[in-house]
Amino acid sequence: MHASDVADDLVEVLFTEEQIQARVAEMATEIERDYEGKDLVIVGVLRGAVMIMADLARSLTKHVEMDWMAVSSYGSGTKSSGVVRILKDLDADITGRHVLIVDEIIDTGLTLSWLTSNLGSRGPASVEIATLLRKPEALQMPIEARYVGWDIPNEFVVGYGLDYRERYRNMRDIGTLAPSVYS
């Protein structure tokens, strides 16, 4: 689905499919450089990270293990509840390994702060974060992401894995959702 298919639901398109693919490829190049010769496992945060996880993994030219976690802090609303629950844990043992958490967006930072701490307690060599989007104005918890696609305003965005009530995830672009859709 393209932004043009749901144009009436969007205020504007922030990033096109082509811009997203170019930035993900740049991030992959940085990651390969920084993890040269290291045992890296990338951990996608379900469900939103499916798109960036797949595209990032395909952009890497070295072997990488992929694993997934599902955590919940949103419910069906538009704001984080701040309470994190693990719905699906890792299958891999990360002891002594370099872990790169891959997520589509850092909003409040509450979920990723909790997840970084949780994974860090499992004895990895390192835990870092890669995210396509970050909302600096929305941060409630200091969170350091090693790789960031773009900083964006504190607006409700959808597409490329980002959803509103499970809709818009399959949109190839990223756009700002019109308030009339969610208010």
Q: What is the pLDDT of residue 77?
A: 53
Q: Would you tell me the crossing angle of helices 17-34 and 50-59 to the nearest 10 degrees?
A: 60
Which residues of 51-125 form beta strands (DSSP E)? Answer: 65-72, 85-88, 98-106
Residue 106 lies in a domain: yes
Whole-prediction pTM: 0.92
Question: Rounded CA gap, 69 and 88, in Å?
Answer: 5
Is 107 catalytic? The answer is yes
CATH number at residue 121: 3.40.50.2020
Number of H helices, E strands in the chain: 4, 9
Total tally of structural domains belonging to the chain: 1
Is residue 168 within 8 A of residue 177, CB to CB? The reply is yes
Q: Identify whether 170 is part of a domain.
A: no
pLDDT tens by residue, 101-129:
999 999 989 889 999 999 999 999 999 99
Condensed to tens digits (0 to 9), the pLDDT of residues 147-179 reads 999 999 999 999 999 999 999 999 999 999 999
Catalytic site residue from 55, 103, 107, 173 = 107
The half-sphere exposure of 114 on its side-chain side, counting CA atoms within 13 A, is: 17
pLDDT in tens, 14-56: 999 999 999 999 999 999 999 999 999 999 999 999 999 999 9
User: 63: exposed, middle or buried (C-beta count within 10 Å: 0-12, 13-18, 19+)?
Assistant: exposed
Q: Is residue 28 part of a domain?
A: yes
Q: Which domain holds residue 141?
A: 18-73+82-155
Of residues 78, 154, 146, 137, the one with CA closest to residue 112: 146
User: Is residue 53 assigned to a domain?
Assistant: yes
* Domain-located, residue 112: yes
Q: What is the pLDDT of residue 79?
A: 57
163 is a domain residue:
no
Q: In this structure, is residue 161 part of a structural domain?
A: no
138: in domain: yes
